[in-house]
Amino acid sequence: MAENLTQAIKRAKDYVSKLTSDNISSSDNIDLNKVWQLDNSYIASSTVSGLVIIDQARAHQRILFDDAVKSFKLGISSSQTLLFPKELKLSSTKLSTLLDILPFMNKIGFTIRKLENKSIVLESIPSDMPWGDEDSVISKMLNDFSTASKKDFSNETLIALSFSKRACIKHGDVLNVSEMIELINRLFGTDEPFITPNQEPILYQIDYKEIKKRFNELGL
């Protein structure tokens, strides 16, 4: 596992190095006046040297992860109160897991209250978490934590990894222009805008030379 992780990190660093050399070091290098969504999954725009395509789910995952890590470090989080608190019923195992990680959940913006039975009441969620999928996000986070290897990461990192993966914008989610621009700007405000916390590439650039080369190969 350690060898695979080392190889993934090396590939990610090489990828980041290439992107940086291609002058995509900030959102200033992306034409925010010309952004569009592809297949409700990717954000495309032009740059000085070509086109850039951003995976919207991976971009939001990076944003959520960095925000969660900052919340743990600074002890400051931002929440949005649910208009109608949600009561969720959990199995004994999941309830036990939730109680173990509840202090960490609170630190990133969740407000959860335990009832007398095997139920909880969800009163608020992190401010950047989309509405409507709270039950699934919490259930999957509990599964992630219970099956994760505790020796490889701290509890804070495990929570940040799981939350960012489960609560992020998904492929298929429709974004308007303002939302796409905000996502791009926030992405380049993170520490690692080119790779996800799991070392997956977030964006892909196609330079104009490559586009021209492809057309020449087709004889066009």
- Residue ranges per structural domain of the chain: 2-64+172-217, 79-127+131-167
Q: 79-127+131-167 — its CATH code? A: 3.30.1370.100
Parts of the chain with a pLDDT under 70:
1-28, 220
115 near 126, Cβ under 8 Å? no
Instruction: Report angle CA 13, 104, 60 to the nearest 5 degrees.
Output: 40
Phi, psi angles (nearest 5°) of residue 12:
-65, -40
pLDDT digits 0-9 by tens, 97-126: 999 999 999 999 999 998 878 889 999 999
Beta strands (DSSP E) in 65-118 are 79-89, 111-114
Element (H, E) at 36: strand 30-38
pLDDT of residue 21: 44
Type of residue numbered 191: D
The CATH superfamily of 2-64+172-217 is: MutL, C-terminal domain, dimerisation subdomain (3.30.1540.20)
Mark residue 75 as left, alpha or beta (left: phi above 0; alpha: psi -120 to 50; beta: remaining): left
